[in-house]
Amino acid sequence: MIGLLVVPILICGYITITTLPKERIRISLYQGWSLYLRAATYGTLIVATVFFIFCITLPSLPLKYPEIEIFRKIPSQSAVNLLASYILKNSNLTFNIDAKSILTLQIISLSTISICSTAFLSITLKVLALLFPRVYRKNQQTIVNKLVQQKSPIEYSLLIIAEKLSQDILYNQRMSNLRNMVLAMIEKDIIKKSDPEFNDILEEVELRDPDKFSYALITLDNGKFYIGCPKIIPIPDEESISSNSISFLPIISGFRDEKQNLVFTTRYDFDIELDRDIDCISIPRSNIISVSSFNFETYYRLKNNSLHSKLTRQQSLTF
């Protein structure tokens, strides 16, 4: 008899943790019995809530508020007893109707209602995700970022850099479209270069310098490094929080010397604004030892300052 309730509790819990975005991507964190306990926790809460709603709250409404017409249509019996009675009347099985049999039918009814309610809510959430994909993706991305930040710093760094890069690239695309619109207006004599507003318009549609973008600097275990744009970072799932590999669009690659300084060897002629999978490379996650943000403008400025300091130091030693 206990199994009639334990199994539905685990089923309800399993449906819940595989539906809720926050729980679905955390399944890989649970090991052994912790996964069953997590499912059992949600399942117990669901079954208790179903029991409270369908066995206590709804049957009591017609008695507490008889003056409200809509409550009069609610059966005075609980849904569990109604389903148990229906099973008893329409069942072809013959057994002795005693207190134990009635209790068994009630548990079966409670389990059935709980599983059906959980499945209905799961389907409803999936339909809402399809109807409002932007809200769902934003909520899911927030959950993913928080989880990855706690459990996998490398993926978190790549996610943050990829988000910032996509914003900069999208900004330049919009500004480029506005520039083309302004040029078309000049060709059609809608506005003239001599107009005072022309310079103001050009300042409004100024593109950001790609050297000022924050790229990802990935260092591998063999000393080689790549600078570029993270393109595909797999979302954590029930298998693992960290990914097996990442898709990366390189701009420059090289190696680190004995002092861990960057030595550039190869520049790739790829347009970062074009989302072309054919230009990307796949980097095994196990070979990555560090990820950091990299800005070309900052790098060259610090390098020039370092060279200037070195020359100044040499001159002072000479004199």
Q: Is 96 found in the same domain as 62?
A: yes
Is 146 inside any structural domain?
no
- Is the predicted pLDDT of residue 229 greater than 80, yes or no? yes
**280 and 161 within one domain:** yes
Q: Are 169 and 272 in contact (CB under 8 A)?
A: yes
- Tell me if residue 302 falls in helix, strand or coil: helix
In a domain, residue 316? The reply is: no
Q: What mean pLDDT is predicted for residues 139-149? A: 71
Token digits of residue 287: 């070979």
Which tops the pLDDT comparison, 299 or 63?
Answer: 299
Range of the domain at 216: 151-301
Q: How confident is the model at residue 232 (pLDDT cuts 50, 70, 90)?
A: low
- Mean of all residue pLDDT scores within the chain: 78
Picking from 36-40, 200-204, 225-229, 289-293, which range would have the lowest pLDDT averaged per residue? 200-204
User: What is the model's pLDDT at position 227?
Assistant: 92
Query: Both 185 and 118 in a single domain?
Result: no
**Is residue 282 included in any domain, yes or no?**
yes
Q: Are residues 126 and 7 in the same domain?
A: yes
Residue 131: pLDDT band (50, 70, 90) is: confident
Q: What value does the mean pLDDT take over residues 43-59?
A: 89
Burial class, 105, CB count within 10 angstroms (exposed 0-12 / middle 13-18 / buried 19+) = buried
Reference 169, options 272, 71, 255; nearest CA is 272
Nearest residue to 28 (alpha-carbon basis) of 209, 179, 235, 316: 235
Q: Do residues 125 and 225 both lie within one domain?
A: no
DSSP-derived secondary structure letter, 216: E
According to the model, what pLDDT value does residue 316 have?
46
Residue where one domain finishes, among candidates 131, 161, 187: 131
Residues 14 and 56 placed together within one structural domain of the fold: yes
Q: Which of 98, 131, 164 is the last residue of a domain?
A: 131
Q: Among residues of the chain, what percentage have pLDDT more than 90? A: 13
Is residue 307 domain-resident?
Answer: no
Specify the higher pLDDT residue, 87 or 247.
247
**In a shared domain, residues 155 and 285:** yes
In a domain, 278, yes or no: yes
For residue 21, what pLDDT is reported?
74
What are the tokens at 221?
A: 């275990």
pLDDT tens-digit series, residues 88-110:
777 665 556 666 777 888 888 88
Q: Quick one: 288 and 257 in the same domain?
A: yes
Burial of 209 (0-12, 13-18, 19+ CB in 10 A): exposed
Can you tell me the mean pLDDT for 179-200?
A: 71
CATH number (domain holding residue 173) = 2.30.30.100
Last residue of a domain, one of 84, 101, 131: 131
Cα–Cα distance measured from residue 205 to residue 197, given in angstroms and rounded to the nearest whole number: 13
Residues 37, 155 within the same domain: no
What pLDDT score was predicted for residue 253? 92
Q: Residue 9: which residues within 8 A CB-CB, separation 6 or more? A: 40, 43, 44, 46, 47, 114
Residues 6+ apart with CB under 8 A from 19: 121, 122, 125, 126
Number of Cα atoms under 13 Å in the Cβ half of residue 3: 0
Rounded to whole angstroms, how far apart are CA atoms 183 and 141? 38
Tell me whether residue 201 is in a domain: yes
User: Are 127 and 158 in a shared domain?
Assistant: no
Cα–Cα nearest to 218, from 280, 154, 135, 163 = 154
Q: How many domains does the chain have?
A: 2
Q: How many residues does the chain have?
A: 319
Would 160 be classed as within a structural domain? Answer: yes
Same-domain pairing of 279 and 246: yes
Mark whether 24 and 122 lie in a shared domain. yes
CA–CA distances in Å: residue 110 to residues 6, 103, 113, 166: 12, 10, 5, 50
Residue 108 covered by a domain? yes
